[in-house]
Amino acid sequence: MAKKTIMLVCSAGMSTSLLVTKMQKAAEVQGIDSDIFAVSASEADHYLASKDVNVLLLGPQVRFMKNDFEKRLEPKGIPLEVINMADYGMMNGEKVLQQALKLIGE
């Protein structure tokens, strides 16, 4: 299984850092080779240009940016979804990881 690059985008990149840690632990337990990281919305384009991102998840607080990101990601073929509010609130790394893997087609 190839390495999965999962990018989370939130308003400042801070609130999702705990979620990233929990997702990394869940991936490790499942033996999934992954690169999971969080960035602020303003940094997203830089990372999309410099990394081979498999899936992008938006934090619930930036769901209003979904249409904008869809336009940018469509030519690259990168799937996009808003993180489930309950899973985000509970910092459920396992569920959010599953959401990302499902979008990638794993």
Q: Where are the alpha helices (DSSP H) in the chain?
A: 17-29, 44-50, 66-73, 85-89, 93-104
The tokens describing 16, both together, are 């999702």
Q: Which of 91, 79, 98 is nearest to 27 (CA)?
A: 98
> Is residue 10 among the annotated active site residues?
yes
Catalytic residue among 10, 20, 36, 80: 10
Q: Which residues are catalytic?
A: 10
